[in-house]
Structure 1
């Protein structure tokens, strides 16, 4: 799809030479003031963005990515201030009055946020959003206005007039993000800042939106800053990569160079934590520990507490961001000493784990036969309609097997899981778990129902919502252990469960608010395993986690499978993650299975066009 040039005449996007400096940031510092005390959030960030260039800002949560972006356009929250220099088009932005920044935002610098619903008015149609976002100094007749709106929506791939008349809640997530992008571009900004614009989208929709962003950026010769925690995404789209950690820039260089020869241990750690689609790694690497607050490490190398190559000199002062190769900077004092080690470590990560032999399906732990689920959808106006979420789904899980269930949103993945857990009642079909017919939980005898609750457990996507915030971790796990009805010492068993998922015993007295996202997900896994299930259902268990934490949780699940001989149904839209954790994969599309087989074979040589599209959508450097 070729992008449409927005408008004509004076509205035509100016073509600027690629080499011109567009945005220059030097010594940008962000600090919060409360109770007379000042706390550093971002420290001495410096970079340059040329016209027509794409910069990816990457790092784990808490690295300062979003705070840096907000500082560029004066959108810092109350009590937070910025210092240093931000020059855009020759004008200084730091310290500029809000009324002037308000005129700048949208017209010259525009923002695209992670959740399009926060950018769109639910009471306005898609077309109305575009019209109200157009330059206010142009008066258009009704026919001209309609044509201009049509052009803008066509630029982002929306050519359906019916979609233009819809409200945000009537659009899919991908369509919502396209409308938000069209509105962000309506005043023809020369710089777009996109903050995690595809995090909540399916892989194929994510790919479409990213390619659309890249295409529009090139056609308009527009500057683009893409903020993401997914290094794969940044490498697939951006010309340059700027890696942030604990509020500072620790590496900055061309994307090919950062991908091939990272010049900082943290950048290497992020690359090593990214799971490949081509093979299952023998070991999923992760970075131990968590990102510290910028204020606690502002006078040392912030990564030194987590770095295996750190020496006392790394803690003697803040390392400068210095040129180590042509157009490539690093803030590592020891980079010359450890460069060969980094290369060896990077090469060693390609060791592949052999694919397992096919599991025996003679006596499967789970058998799903011709599962069908039809929902009745009430309409605001007119008669109710029906929606077929599952249309005759059949698959099995052998003893000791891990099966992946993949597909886009709306494919029926979660509906399958809800039927297995008794949260939904199938319209037709049969489900048997360890020989027990669990198609309708309401018809189970009390003894069978108790047995089934022990046989199957689930780990959900959001670790922040899956634990009771008012209960300690120990109380949560004691309750789960107590369900088993065993005559065991609950305190000893809780300690054993924490040890099983790699958490200290002291965490028993903590509440969820004091744990990181990865630690909470470990507790959720421990709670699920406390009843000793034979089948563990994992519904997008790592979707909201940083890549390093994701690697830790995946490696934990692999270890638990081996140690406990556990059967698993792993639901995800991320094929690279599924490749690391499953033996066999089932591909769902609109409630039907379109392909299934050994995970490695299906991803290496997909036989259905839909599976091939999912494989092509996985970001690659």
Structure 2
């Protein structure tokens, strides 16, 4: 029998539809679940399975229309809240129930400092103001792992890495110590060491306050390390539910079995890996002494300061090879990627591609270079024009370069690319906001493949995907590497994935490479303490940690 006996939140027979041009789309169908104080309920399922819609309905965040709550009853702490609006709802949202969203950049206001946005929570709920609110905001930033919080509290969202923005969102959500925290993919953008810190933080909060936690995730390792109970959703319905240990060790439904089998665990990544078998000694890209220093001022009249984001980085990528880059958020991984695409200019260094320094190319040469080197960004929504359809987004490289594909073949090729990344032909006529985060990332990968590149820089390219789609995308990338001789720079915080896919790995910390070697050597015999700390931060199933 469960040790959790008194439900804090109960959802009964919830059905939600969305209006469309044809017939209403049923996103959630007769879903029921509950969570008690101090309990962690994990909701698993693929993108579009209804996980986020179910919990957004609890917070009254479904726009009506196009959303329509067809049926269902939602009870929180003994009170029916499904129809609460206005002031009664505001007394619950934020203070009693808080939510961490999947895409932090979309929910942080770009014109306000992160400190202003955290302080606003205290002020709106009458908890604190002025200096006291600022001190509490600094304390929260420190607690979620933001370095130098006294300084960074006055910076803006764009000045933080994706993982750091997620930590800011978590600080905002836990500011008022809610009774129920709904976490929608809270560790998606985080590397394993910071992920471990955040998960420990959530556990500590539960121990301190008795907070209930609903965790939505596609990361089965995170789910296993956190869950007391698990529900598995597919196509808007719950297909399996039970104690975490039972679901993970003895799943009964075919869909659950598929999810668990798609995850590369430990030595399994060595035995069934997707590393290259066709890499050559031909160098595609050679990076020498790459350095990037950023300058900023604190406040309007503050003293000008500098930050060394990348310091004397050197590496090579061979034809047909996958180079993995791992390290904490803010370690310089994404800065390296952006410089290689000339999206940011280096302070010094060279990057030689096809015998030419990327940083010396004129505009004409740079255009030709960008056909051969593509990037899949960490934030798919921020890298797409919201006014462009998926067809236009994917076909844009053909319009820019002109000689890749005749226009008469664009429609068929868009459909082929969508199907390659696990989407449907009818998705071509939709817009980015109509897709989940994982689906948007698949569109970004399809767009990168459209120009038939030689090198693809993947910046957390599969971090927003559930494990079954991760496996499909990795299989796709591996197959394209073999057939087309593609090379990859694969930036990720997901160690099982990089172990499964990369041929070599470089480990970055505070802008520098601290370890460089083959994947087998890095995982089998790491030499640097930082690398060892990353490997040791891998989540452990809750029942194993408890000795059950």
Normalised by the length of structure 2, the TM-score is 0.78
CA distance 1:133–1:167, shift in 2 (3 Å)? farther
1:268 paired to 2:248? no
Aligned to 1:192: 181
Question: Residues 481 and 509 of structure 1: is their aligned pair in 2 closer, same or farther, counting only changes over 3 Å?
Answer: farther
| Match runs of 1:88-487 below 5 Å | 88-95=76-83, 99-114=87-102, 118=107, 122=113, 125=116, 128-129=119-120, 131-132=122-123, 162=150, 166=154, 169=157, 172-173=164-165, 175-185=167-177, 189-280=178-269, 352-353=272-273, 363-377=282-296, 380-442=300-362, 452=369, 455-461=372-378, 465-466=383-384, 469=388, 472=392, 475-476=395-396, 478-479=398-399, 482-483=402-403
**What is the CA–CA distance in structure 2 between the aligned matches of 1:422 and 1:216, rounded to whole Å?**
43
Q: Is the 8 A contact 1:129 1:183 kept in 2?
A: no
C-alpha displacement of 1:597: 0.5
Q: Which residue of 2 aligns with 1:313?
A: none
Matched, 1:52 2:54: no
Cα separation, 1, equivalents of 2:340 and 2:295: 20
- 1:501-512 pair list within 5 angstroms: 503=420, 510-511=428-429
Aligned to 1:613: 533
Shift of 1:258: 1.2
Structure 1 stretch 472-481 or stretch 411-420: which is displaced more? 472-481
Aligned-residue offset at 1:243: 1.2
State the SS of the aligned residue for 1:197: coil
CA distance in 2, matches of 1:474, 1:238: 38
Closer, same or farther: CA 475–182 of 1 in aligned 2, 3 Å: closer
1:30 and 2:21 correspond: no
How far is the alpha carbon of 1:95 from its aligned partner?
Answer: 4.1
- What is residue 546 of structure 2 aligned with on the other side? none
The question of 1:526 aligning with 2:445 is answered no
Match of 2:74 among 78, 86, 100: 86
Name the CA distance, whole Å, in 2 between partners of 1:123 and 1:414: 21
Q: Secondary structure at the match of 1:179?
A: helix
Unaligned runs of 5+ in 2: 542-548
Deviations 1:360-408 (A, max 9, x none): 65x5232222222333435632443333232111111233322112223
Q: Deviations over 1:561-620 (max 9, x none)?
A: 111222222222322222222100111222211111111321333222322333334444
1:559 to 479, 483, 505: 479
Residue 235 of structure 1: CA displacement?
1.9
Q: Would you say the 8 A contact 1:407–1:413 is kept in 2?
A: yes
Q: Structure 1, residues 469-502: CA drift from partner, whole Å, max 9, x if none?
A: 2664785464477446xxx977579867975885
Q: CA separation of 1:562/1:192 partners in 2, compared to 1, >3 Å: closer, same or farther?
A: same
1:134 is displaced (CA, Å) by 6.2
1:596 and 2:516 correspond: yes
Equivalent-residue separation in structure 1 for 2:353 and 2:152 (angstroms): 47
For the 8 Å contact 1:473–1:523, the answer to whether it is kept is no
SS in 2 for 1:542: coil
Change (3 A) 1:424 1:47: closer
Higher relative CO (Cα under 8 Å, sequence separation at least 6) belongs to 2
Structure 1 Cα separation of the partners of residues 252 and 496 of structure 2: 25
Q: Say if 1:278 and 1:604, in contact at 8 Å, map to a contact too.
A: no
Say if 1:541 and 1:141 are closer, same or farther in 2 by CA, change over 3 A: closer
2:283, 2:316 within 8 Å by CA — same for their partners in 1?
A: yes
- CA deviation digits over 1:535-586, x for unaligned, max 9? 3333332233343333222111100111122222222232222222210011
Q: Aligned residue for 1:64? A: 50
Tell me which moved more, 588-597 or 227-236. 227-236
Q: Deviations over 1:78-117 (max 9, x none)?
A: 3433633333333333445654444344454343434567
Q: Give SS of 2:483's match.
A: helix
Using the alignment, how far apart are the partners of 1:113 and 1:557 within structure 2? 29
Aligned mates of 1:563, 1:615 — CA distance in 2: 32
Shift of the alpha carbon at 1:450?
Answer: 7.6
Closer/same/farther in 2, CA of residues 557 and 494 from structure 1, 3 Å limit: farther
Alignment length, in residue pairs? Answer: 519
3-state SS of the aligned residue for 2:269?
coil
Which of 440, 452, 455 is equivalent to 1:517? 440
Instruction: Answer yes or no: is 1:571 the counterpart of 2:497.
Output: no
- Name whichever of 245-254 and 418-427 sits farther off: 418-427
Question: CA 1:87/1:433 → structure 2, altered by over 3 Å: closer, same or farther?
Answer: closer
- Contact 2:275–2:503 under 8 Å retained in 1: yes
SS across alignment from 1:44? strand
Task: Report the Cα distance in structure 2 between the residues aligned to 1:141 and 1:489, rounded to whole angstroms.
Answer: 61
Deviation at 1:150, TM superposition (A): 8.8
Q: Could you give the per-residue CA deviations for residues 259-312 of structure 1, whole angstroms, max 9, x where no partner exists?
A: 11212122222223334354437xxxxxxxxxxxxxxxxxxxxxxxxxxxxxxx
Against the structure 1 CA distance between its residues 67 and 601, is the aligned structure 2 distance closer, same or farther, given a 3 Å change threshold? same
Q: 1:563 to 1:415 in 2, by over 3 A?
A: same
The answer (yes or no) to whether the contact 2:17–2:24 under 8 Å persists in 1 is yes
Aligned CA distance change for structure 1 residues 135 and 245 (closer, same or farther; 3 Å): farther
Report the RMSD for the aligned CA atoms in angstroms.
4.3
SS in 2 for 1:280: helix
Aligned mates of 1:130, 1:427 — CA distance in 2: 39
CA deviations on 1:53-99 (whole Å, 9 max, x unpaired) are 11011222222222222333444423433633333333333445654
